[in-house]
Amino acid sequence: MNHELQRGFIIMLTVTGLSKTYGRQILFDNVSFSINPGERIGLTGRNGSGKTTLFRLMLGEEEPDSGEIRIPNGYTVQYLSQHINFTKSSVLEEACLDLKAAEDGRDETYRVKSILSGLGFSQSEFHRNPRHLSGGFQVRLNLAKILASEPNLLLLDEPTNYLDIVSVRWLIQFLRTWKDELILITHDRTFMNSVTTHTMGIHRQSIRKIAGSTEKLYQQIIQDEEVCEKTRANDERKTKEIELFVNRFRAQASRAKAVQSKIRMLEKREKREKLTELPELDFTFNPAPFPGKWLVEADDVSFSFSDDALPLIHAFKIAVKKNDRIAIIGKNGKGKTTLLNLLAGEFQPGQGEIRYNQNLKLAYFGQTNVARLDPDKTVLEEVLNAHPAHSLGSARGICGSMMFDGDNALKKVSVLSGGEKSRVLIGKLLVSPANLILLDEPDNHLDTESIDSLIAAVDTFTGAVLFVTHSEMILRAIATRLIVFDNGKISVFEGTYDEFLERIGWEDEKSIAKTTNEKTIEPQNKVSRKDMRRVRARLIESRSKVLGPLQQEIESLEKAITRLENRIEDDNQSLIRASNVGDGRTITSLSISIHNSKIEIERLFDELDRLAGEHHRKSMEFEEQFNALEQV
Please report, as ranges, the residues that interact with ligand ATP according to CB under 6 A: 22, 25, 27, 45, 47-53, 82, 411, 415-420, 445, 447
Q: Output 419 or 463, the one with its CB closest to ligand ATP.
A: 419
129 binds, among ligand ATP, Mg ion, none (CB under 5 to 8 A by kind): none
Compute the distance between CA of residue 186 and CA of residue 209 in angstroms, rounded to an integer: 16
Q: What is the 3-state secondary structure (H, E, C) of 428-476?
A: HHHHCCECEEEEECCCCCCCHHHHHHHHHHHHHCCCEEEEECCCHHHHH
| Helix or strand run (H / E) with residue 482 | strand 481-486
Q: Quote the least distance from Cβ 39 to ligand ATP, whole Å.
A: 20
Name which of Mg ion, ligand ATP, none residue 49 binds, using a CB cut-off of 5 to 8 Å depending on partner kind.
ligand ATP
Q: Minimum distance from CB of 415 to ligand ATP (Å)? A: 4
Q: Which of ligand ATP, Mg ion, none sits in contact with 416, Cβ below 5 to 8 A by type?
A: ligand ATP
Which residue lies nearer to ligand ATP by CB, 52 or 367? 52
Nearest approach in angstroms of CB 182 to ligand ATP is 17
CB of 73 to ligand ATP, least distance (A): 27
Contacts (Cβ under 8 Å, ≥6 apart) of 105:
none
Q: Which residues pair with 69 in a beta bridge?
A: 15
CA distances (Å), origin 194, targets 40, 146, 199, 469, 533: 11, 21, 12, 21, 55
Residue 390, class by beta-carbon neighbours within 10 Å (0-12 exposed, 13-18 middle, 19+ buried)? middle
The b/e string for 353-387 (b: 16+ C-beta within 10 A; e otherwise) is ebeebeebbbbbbbbebbeebeeebbbbebbbebe
Rank residues 40 and 445 by Cβ distance to ligand ATP and give the closer one: 445
Contact 436, 289 (CB under 8 A): no
Residue with smaller CB distance to Mg ion, 366 or 418: 418
Amino acid 485 reads F
Question: Judged by CB, which is closer to ligand ATP: 359, or 414?
Answer: 414
Instruction: Give the phi and the psi of residue 236 in degrees, each rounded to 5.
Output: -65, -40
Q: How far is the CB of 447 from Mg ion (least distance, A)?
A: 10
Site residues (vs Mg ion, CB under 5 A): 52, 82, 417-418
Interaction partner, residue 44 (ligand ATP, Mg ion, none; CB < 5-8 Å by kind): none
Q: Which residue's Cβ has the minimum distance to ligand ATP?
A: 419
Q: Residue type for 193, please?
A: N
Radius of gyration of the chain (CA): 30
Residue with the closest Cβ to Mg ion? 52
Alpha carbons 239 and 262: distance in angstroms, whole number: 10
- Closer Cβ to ligand ATP, 341 or 444, answer by number: 444
CA angle 516, 485, 517 (to 5 degrees): 5
> What's the min distance (Å) between Cβ of 445 and Mg ion?
7
47 binds, among ligand ATP, Mg ion, none (CB under 5 to 8 A by kind): ligand ATP
Among ligand ATP, Mg ion, none, what binds residue 50 when CB lies within 5 to 8 Å by partner kind? ligand ATP
Alpha-carbon gap, residue 289 to 359, rounded angstroms: 8
Closer residue to ligand ATP in complex, CB, 416/465: 416
Closest distance between ligand ATP and the C-beta of residue 82, in Å? 6
CB-based contacts of 563, cutoff 8 Å, min separation 6: none
Q: How far is the CB of 66 from ligand ATP (least distance, A)?
A: 17
Q: Pick between residue 66 and residue 123 the one whose CB is nearest to ligand ATP.
A: 66
Which of Mg ion, ligand ATP, none lies near 53, with the C-beta cut-off 5 to 8 A by kind? ligand ATP
